[in-house]
Amino acid sequence: MSKLSIYSNVCFILGHDILSLEDVIPSKANDYNMSRINLTPGVVHYSNIIAYNYAGAHITATSDGFIVDHTHPTVGIVYDGIGK
C-alpha cells in the first residue's frame, strides 16, 4: 500500500465531506487522530478510508456511522438480562 486518505461525511449517500485530508498518511499507520472537526449532534456521521497501492488502484472502506450525543445520561437502572 502506498498511501491512505481519510474522509468524514455527514451523509455518505450525498457525499458532503466535512473533513478531507490532503496529508499522505503512512500505509503502516494503525490509527489517526482527527481533531477540531465540527460534528452535528443527532446526525449520522461516517468515516471513509481510501487505500491506494503503488499502481494507483484503490479500495474504500466506510464505517457503519456514529451519532454525536451531547445530552447527559439519565439516572436509572440498567437491565442486562442477567438475574431477576
Q: What is the pLDDT of residues 18-64, one digit of tens each?
A: 666 656 677 777 877 777 777 788 888 877 777 888 888 888 888 88
Residue with cell 431477576: 84
Between β-strands 3-9 and 44-52, what pairing exists: parallel, antiparallel or unpaired?
antiparallel
Domain ranges of the chain: 3-67
**Whether 33 contacts 42, CB under 8 Å:** no
Question: Which comes out higher in pLDDT, residue 46 or 3?
Answer: 46
Global pTM exceeds 0.85:
no
Cβ contact 39:48 at 8 Å: no
Q: Per DSSP, what are the bridge partners of residue 72?
A: none
Q: Indicate left, alpha or beta for 27 from its phi (over 0: left) and psi (-120 to 50: alpha).
A: alpha
